[in-house]
Each structure stands twice: as C-alpha cells, then as structure tokens.
Amino acid sequence: MALPKIAIIGTGGTISGVGRDRLDFYEYGTSGRFMKVDELIAGVPELPRVAEIVSIPYKNVGSTEIGPADWLALVGIIHETAAADPTIAGFVITHGTATLEETAYFLNLAVKVPSPVVVVGAMRPSSALGADGGLNLLNACRVAGCPQARGMGVMVVLNDEINAARDVAKTSNYRVHTFISRDFGLLGYADADRVQFYRKPLRRAAPDTEFDVSGLKALPRVDIIPAYAGADATLVEAVVKAGAKGIISAGFPSGSPSPAQKKALVQAAESGVAVVQSSRSGSGRVIDDKVALRDAGFVAADSLTAQKARILLMLALTVTSDRDDLRRIFDEY
C-alpha cells in the first residue's frame, strides 16, 4: 500500500530550537538558532516509514512572532499546495507552542481544503535531553495521513494525544502534557500500533465554514480586555480610540467585566464596536443571558477562551457586523 503524501510546513518554534547543550531547556530561544524544516525532517529518519514527505519552508521564528499576517499566509500556502498537487493527503505545520492553539483555531475556521491539517510543536528543543519534538512530528504525520482524520477539523498533536483546535489550550509552561481540552476531552490517541479516534467535534470547522480569507491582506482589529479587581475603563477606552472593531471582554468567572469596564463596553457597543463576553476561567460556557449580555449589546463567547473568541470575532467581522448574526456564529462555531 502506498504511503500518504504529507506536506510539512515549517514555522520554527521550540520543536526546531537548538540550545547550547542537552541541558538547555529554557534559554535556547536566546540563541536565535532554529533548524530549517528540511533539517527538522532529516532529524527524524523514521518519517519515510509512515509518509511520503513534502517539505515547505515558511519561517524559522519563535511563535510569539506569529500573528494574523502569518495565519493568512499559511492558509494561502495550504490552498496553493493542495491545488498544485491533489495527491497530498494531509498537512502538518510545525509551530512554537506559545501561540500554537491560536494558529490552529484560525486554520480551523479558514482552511477550505478537505485534507486533514495538523499543527504540532514540542515542549523541549530539538537539542535537549529527552526532546519530544521528533516523536510529535512523526505522530502528526501519522494523524494527517489517517483516513479517519478527515472531517475532524484542524487538529493539534503532542504527547501522543490528538486534540481539536477549537477546544485545546496550553495549560502548563514546561510540562510535555501541556495541551489539554479541559471541557470536552481529546479526540483520540496516536499510539504505537495505530491512530485511534474516539469522538468527532460537532461545531462547524474546516473546510465547511462561511469564512473566505482569500485576497485579504489584514483582519479587523479585535482586542482582549482582561477583568481584574478594581479594573477601570482605561483599557476599553484605549482600544476603542485605537480603532478596534471588536472587543473580547475576558471577564470574571462566569463571564462579567468590572462595573467600570462594563459601562465603557456598553458605550463601545452603542458606538458600533462588537463586544463579546468571555471568561478568564478557561473552562465552562458563558451563558447568553438576556439582562447581563443581550440588553447590554454583548455577544456570549460560549466555551471559547478569550484568545479563540478573538479569532472567531475577527473572522466573523469579515462577513457581518449584525449582532444577531454574530450570536449565530458563536453558537455554530
């Protein structure tokens, strides 16, 4: 049986990082040395046993440098590559873990090809004792080439676990089991014998979404305002002045800003800024409450974290600014 053809797109990150020695677990970023994607692939000689690999270099940076312009570029690379070579079975994107979940969720909403897309990273640099990147990359390719991966949306694979881009979050600064889907659990495992799925996400995901980013050079500005004891209106007023088209209120659990923030957010909503209420807790839904949210002109983020609510709102604002349509979008995605 022919092996699946998998395109690996390299962006840098810890998975490509090179430290001073094998005990350099956290200062390696200061070296500025990231392996190119071809080097990363060559460092896992077992890859040809699971897939025919196509190497696509993009960037070699830490993921704190990755942002919306890169998200748009990555979608373009995936679409162009799939159009040029229909035999490609899946895509793997190597990525730093700091913003990995954000890139994955954007792709989950914007990619228009049916081939599985997997975003993968590592918690230890390639040069470290016990580096996890090689096996993560191998497993990501196995998942991307698995027929059952179609229809799962964009996935994140680390630590032998498969998670949905919508649900997963980085939950620990250094532990290899950092990526967890707190509320809904993982999709499956990449075990030694086979890739095994146990559930399928129900929310809309790639490629069946209403968002088309082809031709876009930028996304609408959306800012996140965190709630904390005694917070005043300063940050809200600042982002409105800066031209924000949308604001994510990362409120107190279970989803509310401080009184001063709420007053400013209501004024922002009245002026036409889209305001979405999320929670800083990282788990659980924000309920679409009539008095607390709807009457204030806010939209509930449901179970999305603030950073993912921001991504959905950025894309939603490319198709609508109607509040009822925004509520529908947050219900469906």
In the 3-class helix/strand/coil scheme, how is the chain assigned residue by residue? Answer: CCCCEEEEEEEECHHHECCCCCCCCCCHHHHCCECCHHHHHHCCCCHHHCCEEEEEEEEEECHHHCCHHHHHHHHHHHHHHHHHCCCEEEEEEECCCCCHHHHHHHHHHHCCCCCCEEEECCCCCCCCCCCCHHHHHHHHHHHHCCHHHCCCCCEEEECCEEEECCCCEECCCCCCCCEECCCCCCCEEECCCCEEECCCCCCCCCCCCCCCCCCCCCCCCEEEEECCCCCCCHHHHHHHHCCCCEEEEEEECCCECCHHHHHHHHHHHHCCCEEEEEECCCCCCECCCHHHHHCCCEEECECCCHHHHHHHHHHHCCCCCCHHHHHHHHHHC
Is the pLDDT assigned to residue 30 strictly greater than 80?
A: no
Q: What is the mean pLDDT of residues 281-293?
A: 94
Q: Taking the CB of residue 280, how many other CB atoms lie within 10 A of it?
A: 16
The whole-number pLDDT of residue 26 equals 86
The whole-number pLDDT of residue 165 equals 98
What is the C-alpha to C-alpha distance for residues 155 and 153, in angstroms, rounded to an integer? Answer: 6
Instruction: Band the pLDDT of 271: cuts 50, 70, 90.
Output: very high
Q: Which residues contact 35 (CB under 8 A, 6 or more apart)?
A: 16, 17, 18, 43, 60, 126
The whole-number pLDDT of residue 288 equals 95
222-332 — its CATH code? 3.40.50.40
Residues linked to residue 246 through DSSP beta bridges, in sequence order: 222, 274
Q: What superfamily does domain 5-197 belong to in CATH?
A: L-asparaginase, N-terminal domain (3.40.50.1170)
Catalytic residue among 11, 14, 97, 209: 14
The angle subtended at Cα 269 by Cα 263 and Cα 271, nearest 5°, is 105
Same fold, 5-197 and 222-332: yes
The whole-number pLDDT of residue 27 equals 87
The whole-number pLDDT of residue 1 equals 76
The whole-number pLDDT of residue 119 equals 99
Q: What is the mean pLDDT of residues 19-35?
A: 85
Contact 93, 100 (CB under 8 A): no
The whole-number pLDDT of residue 46 equals 98
pTM confidence score: 0.97
Instruction: Band the pLDDT of 28: cuts 50, 70, 90.
Output: confident
| Chain mean position to CA 222 | 16
What is the C-alpha to C-alpha distance for residues 270 and 46, in angstroms, rounded to an integer? Answer: 58
Domain boundaries, the chain: 5-197, 222-332
pLDDT tens for 162-175 read 999 999 999 999 99
288-294's contacts with Cβ under 8 Å and 24+ in sequence apart are 288/327, 292/255, 292/256, 293/255
pLDDT tens for 81-130 read 999 999 999 999 999 999 999 999 999 999 999 999 999 999 999 999 99
Contact 251, 280 (CB under 8 A): yes
Residue of 322, 285, 291 lying closest to 303 (CA atoms): 285
Residue of 107, 8, 105 lying closest to 306 (CA atoms): 105
Is the pLDDT assigned to residue 29 strictly greater than 90?
A: no
Q: Is 14 one of the catalytic residues?
A: yes
